[in-house]
A and B are shown apart, each in its own frame.
Chain A
Amino acid sequence: KNQVEQSPQSLIILEGKNCTLQCNYTVSPFSNLRWYKQDTGRGPVSLTIMTFSENTKSNGRYTATLDADTKQSSLHITASQLSDSASYICVVSGNNDMRFGAGTRLTVKP
């Protein structure tokens, strides 16, 4: 069983709408949690990185939350744009390794 589970697997929304992606993890001990955006055929680009003590972090229209007690994180995208169409990957680091979620494939339609 993967230690980082993301949902939904895929999502289609209309341009301008908001959406929320989920990440649940069991990695322990916990060092940090990151959200990456990956366009097709390109390398991932970092959106946010949060440590245990942080519960919210924003990067423009992207806002990530972290509940270290329940081991859950979410990525909220506000006023979606066509360029937000991509895979969003949740990555959780322990002391000596990194675990990757399978990603959520977001499609924004006009």
Chain B
Amino acid sequence: KAGVTQTPRYLIKTRGQQVTLSCSPISGHRSVSWYQQTPGQGLQFLFEYFSETQRNKGNFPGRFSGRQFSNSRSEMNVSTLELGDSALYLCASSLSDRAIHTEAFFGQGTRLTVV
């Protein structure tokens, strides 16, 4: 059974640009959640989607957005990139509709570097 797949694995962008990251959940999982991990702040919850609807949102500016498609695949978008957005972005999938209450399986992450 394939795990959570995130693409691309590595990305370098320039300040002011925008970026889209992709996440394919484990087959049969309908919940996808996104996280940002930096050395200074550690892991932080971005948002969670279930059945194409955002269920929960962390404390991040509106430049961070996401969506989920009917096949449960999800994308997150960061607009007007800042140097501080450089981080490992992790996606996790869960079987139920509340990732915060059930086991979440993480992908390998996308390493974003903003220069």
Instruction: Give the B-binding residues of A (Cβ under 8 A).
Output: 31-32, 34, 36, 41-46, 49, 89, 91, 93-94, 96-98, 100-103
Contacts and interface: CB of A to CB of B under 8 A. Distances in A.
10 contacts: A31-B100, A43-B90, A43-B106, A43-B108, A46-B104, A49-B102, A96-B56, A97-B45, A97-B56, A101-B42
A98 B103 contact: no
A19 B49 CA distance: 37
Interface of B: 4, 42-45, 56, 58, 90, 92, 99-109, 111
A100 B46 CA distance: 12
Given A89-B42, A100-B45, A101-B42, 17 more contacts: A34-B103, A41-B108, A41-B111, A42-B108, A43-B4, A43-B107, A44-B106, A46-B103, A46-B104, A49-B102, A93-B100, A93-B101, A98-B45, A98-B99, A98-B100, A100-B42, A102-B42
Contacts of B108: 41-43
Contacts of A43: 4, 90, 92, 106-109
Nearest to B45: A98
Contact of B101 (A32, A41, A100, A101): A32
B104 A103 contact: no
Q: Kindly name the residue among A34, A49, A98 whose own CB sees the greatest number of chain B CB atoms within 10 A.
A: A98
Contacts of A46: 103-105
